[in-house]
A and B are shown apart, each in its own frame.
With several copies, the nearest count.
Chain A
Amino acid sequence: MSTNLDEELQMLADTVARYVANRSDGKANSEDGWKELAELGWLYLPYPEEVGGLGLGTAGVSAVMQGHGRGLLATPYLPFAVMAGGMLARCPRASQALAAVMEGTQRVAAAFAVGAAPTLVAQAADDGWRLAGRCNHVLAVDEADAVLALARIGASDETGLFMVRTDAPGVTVELHFLPDGRRAGCVGFDNVAVAASDRLDENGGVETLLREVEAETLLAAAADNLGAMQVLYEQTLDYAKLRKQFGRPIGSFQSLQFRLVDMWIKLDEVRSLVASAAAAPDRQEAGALAVAAWIQSIWSGRLIGEEAIQIHGAIAMTDEHAVGRYVKRILVNELVFGAPERHFSRYRSMR
């Protein structure tokens, strides 16, 4: 890794920290947020220079996502830039779409879930394809101009990748809140007509690309968790030093000290795996590390979240207090991207 890159990443981390500090209310308006991200150049950041990106790759994404977790940002960087953008960047036919995504003029949601088989079916038609089916929990689809969807081709085993405008006839969106306040939608496709040119894959091979993008997605989600649990740890440690019970700071009680130490270790485990996964030069190793980082981020996140509430006590049960919001963030991430055990076989196949 060149020193140059190291420096760029350091600068990025500083920018992210400043950006998050300025939106510390945790209630950033997502629409405005997207424009700001575009202005900061972060929409160019994940993709290789060959396709017009900045080439900061997973290391850059990890820095941006840690900021998202830390600041509880609702901007859909993960589903739009990492998931949808990640697929587009791997499809030579999608170079125009990718360019629009990087400019921020087109916002593309990801109508596919990590580890799930396609829920849509594409039938060939004269002028292209007809898409039918339904995708649940498409993140931030209300902010998207289009969705990127996976569909099984006819009755075959082949999977195709399709770009569909959200205002296309036959597309319906049922929007709902996630338990942490982010939004998602169930997107229905009622024989939606898609032009042949909007099938973006090269007639197959989507699974391979998907596996790579899924690993990057899991790493990005792990980084989001990391940012969130870092705040939980810091706030809990600070609280334990200040809050008094029985005449002394609760952080002076040994059983609490040991639990705080274990929180710190669990945090460090995630930090180490995320850092290694983001920096790993070898694609196979990076993939395995990304999956491991995700799994560990959930294990650690559960412990740190539950301990953060317990150690804060009743105050953490209030809607106003930040602890609950961070706990919900990590919990929602887990349910969206899949519990640890669901990824065990993926990890074993990559290591």
Chain B
Amino acid sequence: MTMIFSEEDKAFSAEVRTYLSDNLPAELARKVRYNQRLTRDDYTSWQDVLAARNWYAVGWPASAGGPGLTQTQRYLFEREYGALACPHPCQFGIAMAGPVIFTFGNDEQKARFLPGIRENKDFWCQGYSEPGAGSDLAALKTTAVREGDHYRVNGQKIWTTWANWADWMFCLVKTDLEVKPQRGISFLLIDMRSPGITVRPIKTIDGDEEFNEVFFNDVLVPVENRIGEEGQGWTYAKFLLEFERFSMSGAARSRRVLSEIRADAEALGKADDARLVERLTRLEIELLALEHMELHLLARSVGGENPGPEASKLKIRGTEIAQALSRLRVDLHAEDCLVHSEAFLDALEPSDNPSAMGAIATYLNQRKLTIWGGSNEVQRMILAKQILELG
């Protein structure tokens, strides 16, 4: 294993840093820095900036129209990206729908959908979770019954992030009720403007509305919108789960948050508070360990080894650290967090103390990290079975 970056790699890093910092609007950076709510336009206009350089679909191979970066360049891109207060780009198109389409889709599907994703024309969402089927996808109930050239879809999805903003949804549906769940699920792409779709936002404990319920009432979906074989949806979903975990450490973001908290502590004159310094140092070392676990796993995949289920460790530690940081920010600002202002959170009103103002909403919001994307309990089950081989 070698950890040394080539001169080319370093030049690439510098290029990313320069482009991003030159093009990140100060106002947007401030919203990210202070955990204010982003609008659909905040996301899409920033993603246009990325797409202009073909860095929105940054992980895509050249064959799919992506930049075809090496694994090392991918890593360096994420590191530079996380160091700046850029919005976390919407992942559902570029990291999920896209890879499934260019891996399992037919040529017509590739031509039809990939450009819209890559160029940030279409906003995507993910239709997995249902009431009664969260971490356990085998319990899905939404059905798609074949009728000639269409599927008739009925059922309900829930916790669908940004369904209220989306043009398209990739969706797991049951196409066969007879066989065991793993073989009866198919993977459909659904136009969110189709008749029969109702989207209802769910307000979360931090006051945000990123989650939605989506109801399907006799929604007709053309058969050509099915990816791959009927009944093979489970395989594609599993493919994505491992894909997803690898990008879920959030280490670069946590590194930025850590330095923000350190800056806040200095601004508050608490830089010498022994307990605070100790907690910060402790988290910093835990984060360093996470970063180096990630680097070594990356180095192994560069060498051709698929990260596979081991990537679950990054999801577990990354989310635990991010949550600990969000709690630390609350503890640092203490009673200064007590002023709640929807107007501030919506960036409609300034504040003398913006770091404190968003701290509690962020703490509450970050609780989702250990729940979604395969709960940390499910990640531990995967590791126990597949890495530790415990029966």
Does A126 sit within 8 A of B, measured CB to CB? no
Do B135 and A265 touch across chains, with their CB atoms under 8 A apart? no
Does A38 sit within 8 A of B, measured CB to CB? no
Do A257 and B380 touch across chains, with their CB atoms under 8 A apart? yes
Contacts of A137 in B (CB 8 A): 335, 338
Do B275 and A341 touch across chains, with their CB atoms under 8 A apart? yes
Does A163 sit within 8 A of B, measured CB to CB? no
Do B296 and A313 touch across chains, with their CB atoms under 8 A apart? no
In chain B, positions 316-361 with a C-beta closer than 8 Å to chain A are 316-317, 330-331, 334-335, 337-341, 360-361
Chain A, residues 315-351, CB within 8 Å of chain B (1/0): the string is 0111111001101100110011001010010011001
Contacts of A246 in B (CB 8 A): 136, 138
Does B143 sit within 8 A of A, measured CB to CB? no
Contacts of A155 in B (CB 8 A): none
| Given A249-B391, A272-B293: A260 and B384 interface contact (C-beta under 8 Å) | yes
Contacts of A289 in B (CB 8 A): 288, 292
Q: How far is the CA of A320 from the CA of B383 in the complex (A)?
A: 32
Does B179 sit within 8 A of A, measured CB to CB? no
Chain A, residues 214-254, CB within 8 Å of chain B (1/0): the string is 00000000000000000000000100110011110101101
Chain B: interface residue total (CB-CB under 8 A): 67
Do B334 and A335 touch across chains, with their CB atoms under 8 A apart? yes
Contacts of B317 in A (CB 8 A): 265, 269
Does A136 sit within 8 A of B, measured CB to CB? yes
Chain B proximity of A157: nearest CB distance (Å): 24
* Residue in A258, A273, A331 whose beta carbon sits within 8 Å of that of B360 in the complex: A331
Chain B proximity of A253: nearest CB distance (Å): 8
Among A29-37, A91-99, A199-207, A275-283, the one that faces the other chain is A275-283
Could you show 16 A-B contacts with beta carbons less than 8 Å apart? A137-B335, A177-B341, A254-B381, A265-B316, A269-B290, A269-B293, A272-B289, A273-B292, A275-B296, A279-B1, A292-B289, A310-B371, A310-B376, A316-B367, A324-B205, A327-B205
Residues of A that sit less than 8 Å from B by CB: 1, 6, 113, 136-137, 176-179, 184, 237, 240-241, 244-247, 249, 251-252, 254-258, 260-262, 264-265, 268-273, 275-276, 279-281, 289, 292, 295-296, 306, 309-310, 313-314, 316-321, 324-325, 327-328, 331-332, 335-336, 339, 341, 344, 347-348, 351
Residues of B that sit less than 8 Å from A by CB: 1-4, 129, 132, 134-136, 138-139, 158-159, 202-205, 207, 211, 275, 277-278, 281-282, 284-286, 288-290, 292-293, 295-296, 313, 316-317, 330-331, 334-335, 337-341, 360-361, 363-364, 367-368, 370-372, 375-377, 380-381, 383-384, 387-391
